[in-house]
Amino acid sequence: MARLMDMGLNQLNTMLLDMSSLSQTAVAASIDAYSKGGRGSEVRKMAERLQALHRQVSDLSMEVIARYQPVASDLRFIKACFEISYGFFRYGRYALDIVEVLEIFGDLAKCDRSAVVDTAKVTQEMIRMSADAFARRDVNLARKIPAMDDTVDESYRNNLMKVMNAKGNLKCSLSGTLILRYLERIADHATYIGESVDYIVTGIEPTA
């Protein structure tokens, strides 16, 4: 016999899956705008929608806790929803930040964009993996994400060293550094989502 609480839990799951899909689209659109010289005007609406969904997830989570006082795996899932929802929301926020860099700096066609494009490929794969890990409750997939985070961190650090030690085009250097920083933060949130999936399945709290 289905519990009344299950309706709320299923709704939370559906909302998070919607956020997952939308956040992947938002990041892809922002990277596409950077690599192909577009504006990514649709990203702002997606980021705003993700923010609204994040608030709805938070409100519904509190409502389910207040009404049904869940325990064990149900409570773990609700607790993890806060972190996962926030991660998907931040994907959208950083996608918007990337688009705003393009708006500020204008045409970057003459810049060497290879570092950003290569790092973005890794980051987008991390986003996909975090989304799939949540959808399938796949702990093994979730645990592969941190190693990829190290790759993104290294790319960001290497770029900083190049900027400090070389006299290049200031606009190219600044825009590239900002976008790599946003990609690095996206990668961090992908890692956090993976840790939350692990927590949902195993009950083991993420380590600091």
> Is residue 121 domain-resident?
yes
* Domain, as residue range, for 140: 4-202
Confidence of residue 142 (pLDDT cuts 50, 70, 90): very high
Other Cβ atoms within 10 Å of 7 Cβ, number: 11
DSSP symbols for 7-49: HHHHHHHHHHHHHHHHHHHHHHHHHHHHHHT---THHHHHHHH
Q: What is the count of structural domains for the chain?
A: 1
- The whole-model pTM stands at 0.94
Report in angstroms the alpha-carbon separations of 154 from 50, 78, 134, 147, 180. Answer: 29, 34, 26, 11, 11
pLDDT tens, residue by residue, 152-187? 999 999 988 888 776 668 899 999 999 999 999 999
> Is residue 208 domain-resident?
no
> Is residue 207 domain-resident?
no
pLDDT tens, residue by residue, 38-58? 778 899 999 999 999 999 999
Contact yes or no for 50/23 (Cβ under 8 A):
yes
> Is residue 89 domain-resident?
yes
Indicate which CATH number applies to the domain containing 140: 1.20.58.220
Mean pLDDT computed over every residue of the chain: 93
